[in-house]
Structure 1
Amino acid sequence: MNETDMWNKASFLTRLVASSVRVSEAAGGIIKNVMAGGDLKIIDKSTNGEPSDPQTEADRRAQFLIVKSLTERFGGINIIGEEDVTSDCNSIEKTFSSDVLQLEDQIGQDLKSIKPEEVGIELKVVVWVDPLDGTSEVAVAVKNKNAALLEQVTVLIGIAYHGRPVAGVIHQPYHGGAGRTIWAIRGCGVHGIVPAPAQNARVVVTTRSHLNQNVLDALDALKEKGLASNVEKFGGAGFKVLKVLEGCAAYVFASKGCKKWDTCAVEAVLCAAGGRLTDISGRDLCYDASVQRNNTGGVLASAPWVNHEEYIKSIPQSLKDQLPEVAAKS
């Protein structure tokens, strides 16, 4: 069967993921082009004394391409991106991944039955986009001429259905020079990476640029329980979850700074590999269109070989109660 026939046979969700894979890679190309040009046009989006929240021309152009490409192919699909302001990149990605289309027969009937024309589809299916996860690392890499930090940059496209992630794409433009793309659909495993087996060491990853006392206290509590033999700090939720898939035990962020576009894609990928991602009290995150953008209950992601509940229970309730969402639901 040729690619056109595969596309015509495929269900809406399969097509959406197949397109998202190629769109994420095109966005990665834009990021690398902007970086190579040297003029990042960095602005700070933070307000009211909040921590610095940098945005670059790469963020703006990459999101423009992602939204324009998916909207032109899938009409009025509901896309929620990180950036409120974008820059026209005069480009659109029309190709798709045939590797994704080949999984059509493995996809569950509930996902196959999603129809773009059904009433209320814009509320049922939401695409969460972070066009450049790890912008802080980009800014530091440029300032300090530390190209190694660019490995932590990812493009994230997550697809939620009825508020829960069902598919995700993580593109890592600087991995190995040429980049790599990891993607998953619920029930069909994870592709583009081979999850690491159980490790003797319990290495935990956390934020590099948004550390605070609550995060440090949570990590100390895990160390006391023997659940964190070492702590490594990285940027970007996408990269940290990739580290979990590559052998780290967990990603712990007991703070409110992470947002839905940071976690939708990575939760779909991690869960497809057998891992879990919740807030630090063990509650599932909701990705409905109307939900608040901030993950105010924090984030805890665990490897497939880790007992997620063990990590949840080892973080003191007093620390959990420091987070707005946890305190409100306690």
Structure 2
Amino acid sequence: MAWESPLHKGVRSKPPKSKSLFGPNSTEWRSCHGPCLLRSCRAYSAPEVKFSVDRPGRASAVPMNIGWTTQPYNAAATVPARPPSCLSMPIANPMPKGAWLHHETDTVLGILGTAGDIVSGYFAKDTDVAFKNIDEPVTAADRECSAFITSSLRNVFPDDGILSEEEPDTTVRLSKERVWIIDPLDGTQEFVIGLPQFVIMVGLAIHGKPCLGIVLQPTSGLVYIGIPGMGAWVHRNGCTLPARAGHRNELSRMRAAVSRSHLTALMETCLDDAGFAERTRIGSAGLKAGLVAEDQADCWFHASIGLKEWDVCAPHAILEAAGATVTDCWGRDRRYNQADYHLRHGVIASNGRRHAQLIDHISRVCANHGFHGDNGFA
């Protein structure tokens, strides 16, 4: 059974009046993911918005019947009034005090509370959109969120390196043992058209290995936390529960999570070749990884040149902490904080039960299209 967002073919004139995709009244989410996700999912009332594109590089939104109670954001006067953050109240750190990376987890959760405010303040608003390339939009929300997260982390961890999508990269981080790898707004295409399939992702790599990952979906308050060797957790509606990848061990019964906006013909062929039982199209690498981490999907893969370290580091930590397996499309381990941050060999994440078989399917299809493990998708 295949499912995809109704917005996958372009800009929609009017989003539904129901709760967001992550709210309990969403028929889209319910039909695809069942009651497991609905028990503790936070409801989020989005304004009714009409979208149009009035000129290249700019999406125009006309809010109607807005029900938010807006309040100014004191830290930056240029930011528009914003809805109350889903993270205004602190999220309890699921790890015991004194545990490894407890302080880092506390710090990032606190930073994400304000970062979520920043991004939510721009969501479903008239927003200027620039393009880094043909399929990589960037907005003021990306840039402001990145500036806030990176400056906050530098204040607390001045000796650590930083790699963020929206900040200039230097070689300084290459000499650091610990490097924060940040995607301030993953799923910008979805963000621009008013679809709440976007996240903020913060990962910590130590000696090249993903050791901490935290992913926030700002409009719903959904949070994934993962520390390999310690555990993974999912937070909804004030409730934090352990996350664990599933146990399905037949490809014919496995569920694949794939890109809403970057699904190529090659990846379609990979899906057909593997014979997955279900396909879910959803924006944001963090949300796809989260589905695998909490057994709402069994596989997420991306066979393309488009990925960078900030797209995968935090999800990788969460997936590994949840018991999943993560490699490139040819089965090799992933290392972070590399001089070239492009992930030219894609990614496969699965519950681990048939990972080798998935690699066989995907690498064979890639070979048939001229892509091999030496050069990847470069």
TM, length-normalised to structure 1: 0.74
Write out per-residue CA displacement over residues 34-91 of structure 1, whole angstroms, 9 at most, x where no aligned residue: 226x232211111xxxx32101111111111100111111113211000137xxxxxx
Mapped partners of 1:25, 1:320: distance in 2: 44
Alignment check: 8 A CA contact 1:165 1:287 kept? yes
What residue number does 1:3 align with? none
Letter in 2 for 1:139: V
Question: For 2:348, which of 281, 300, 304 is the aligned residue?
Answer: 300
- Is 1:42 matched with 2:95? no
Write out per-residue CA displacement over residues 242-275 of structure 1, whole angstroms, 9 at most, x where no aligned residue: 1212321101211111111010000001100100
Which structure exhibits the higher relative contact order, with contacts defined as CA atoms closer than 8 Å and separated by 6 or more residues? 1
What residue number does 1:315 align with? 362
- Is 1:212 matched with 2:264? yes
Higher helix share: 1
Name the SS for the 1:291 alignment partner: coil
Alignment check: 8 A CA contact 2:257 2:299 kept? yes
What residue number does 2:177 align with? 124
Residues 211, 248 of structure 1: CA spacing in aligned structure 2 closer, same or farther, 3 A cutoff? same
Structure 2 counterparts to residues 174-323 of structure 1, below 5 A:
174-175=219-220, 179-192=221-234, 193=241, 194-195=243-244, 197-198=246-247, 201-223=253-275, 228-246=276-294, 247-288=296-337, 290-303=338-351, 306-317=353-364, 319-320=366-367
My pick for the range that moved more, 236-245 or 320-329, is 320-329
Q: CA deviation at 1:190?
A: 0.7
> Structure 1: which 5+ residue stretches go unaligned?
1-8, 86-119, 142-148
Q: CA deviation at 1:198?
A: 3.5
Write out per-residue CA displacement over residues 163-183 of structure 1, whole angstroms, 9 at most, x where no aligned residue: 1101111111122xxx02221
Write out per-residue CA displacement over residues 99-126 of structure 1, whole angstroms, 9 at most, x where no aligned residue: xxxxxxxxxxxxxxxxxxxxx9952111
Letter in 2 for 1:79: I
Structure 2 counterparts to residues 97-116 of structure 1, below 5 A:
none
What residue number does 1:64 align with? 147
What residue number does 2:218 align with? 173
Alignment check: 8 A CA contact 2:269 2:365 kept? no
Mapped partners of 1:282, 1:309: distance in 2: 7
Identity percentage over the alignment?
31
Name the SS for the 2:127 alignment partner: coil
Q: CA RMSD in A?
A: 2.4
- Is 1:79 matched with 2:140? no
Write out per-residue CA displacement over residues 115-159 of structure 1, whole angstroms, 9 at most, x where no aligned residue: xxxxx9952111100001110111122xxxxxxx20x21110011
What residue number does 2:107 align with? 19
Q: CA deviation at 1:279?
A: 0.8
What residue number does 1:138 align with? 191
Mapped partners of 1:202, 1:241: distance in 2: 15
- Is 1:160 matched with 2:212? no
Higher strand share: 2
My pick for the range that moved more, 161-170 or 309-318, is 309-318
> Structure 2: which 5+ residue stretches go unaligned?
1-96, 235-240
Letter in 1 for 2:225: W
Mapped partners of 1:79, 1:11: distance in 2: 23
Mapped partners of 2:339, 2:273: distance in 1: 31
Mapped partners of 2:219, 2:113: distance in 1: 11
Mapped partners of 2:174, 2:310: distance in 1: 19
Mapped partners of 2:267, 2:285: distance in 1: 15
Name the SS for the 2:374 alignment partner: helix
Q: CA deviation at 1:23?
A: 1.2
Mapped partners of 1:30, 1:43: distance in 2: 18
Mapped partners of 1:236, 1:202: distance in 2: 20
Residues 206, 323 of structure 1: CA spacing in aligned structure 2 closer, same or farther, 3 A cutoff? farther
Alignment check: 8 A CA contact 1:264 1:287 kept? yes
What residue number does 1:95 align with? none
Write out per-residue CA displacement over residues 217-254 of structure 1, whole angstroms, 9 at most, x where no aligned residue: 2112111xxxx112221111001111212321101211
Name the SS for the 2:121 alignment partner: helix
Mapped partners of 1:39, 1:84: distance in 2: 24
Q: CA deviation at 1:323?
A: 7.5
Alignment check: 8 A CA contact 1:43 1:56 kept? yes
